[in-house]
Amino acid sequence: MTTHSRHLSEWIDRPAPEVYAYAADPANLPRWAPGLGSSVERVDGEWFVQTPAGRGGVTFAPPNQYGVLDHDVALPSSEVVHNPMRVLPDGQRCEVVFTLRRRPDASTEQFARDAELVVADLARLKRVVEAASGQD
């Protein structure tokens, strides 16, 4: 089966470890990725988000020094969506790259809309992290 992917990115004027630490904390998801979940809660060591389709689980890659923020989202339908994501250092700033994979049932229009939502989330991540540090 052929999978179509788009690599979407945003440059953030903050050091990679700072951006990684913020984005890796599931408690911050509603602040920068509200499309994924409007609220988040931790129950018995597992994270759950309230998605537009209902309650789903979210699991991030274990903490690491490489900027890997891959995460799985378990949808209420029991489907699990794997989302590759990286924070790439570049001096005192970094690039956040999200690989959007087209789901088999997604139309061209749905895939384009998903890409727009991810781009908006990455822009929001940039604003939130830079504002927290006093940057614009």
Task: Describe the strand order of the beta sheet including 40-43 as a list of residue ranges.
Answer: 40-43, 46-51, 54-60, 71-74, 80-83
Q: Is the per-residue pLDDT at 3 higher than 80?
A: no
> Model confidence at 135, in pLDDT bands (50, 70, 90)?
low
- Residues 17 and 89: their CA atoms lie apart, in Å, by 8
Percent of the chain with pLDDT over 70: 96
DSSP codes of every residue in 34-45: TTT-S-EEEETT
Strand 80-83 versus strand 5-12 pairing type: unpaired
Quote the CA–CA distance of 103 and 91 in Å, as a whole number: 35
Tokens 């809309």 locate to 113
- What's the CA angle centered on 47, arms 50 and 31, to 5 degrees? 60
| pLDDT computed for residue 2 by the predictor | 54
Mean pLDDT value across residues 103-124: 93
Between CA 78 and CA 93 the distance in angstroms is 37
71 with 56: CB under 8 angstroms? no
Q: What is the reported pLDDT for 50?
A: 87
- Residue ranges of domains in the chain: 5-132
Strand locations in the chain (E):
5-12, 40-43, 46-51, 54-60, 71-74, 80-83, 85-90, 93-101
- Report domain 5-132's class: alpha beta
- Looking at per-residue pLDDT, the higher value among 39 and 122 belongs to 122
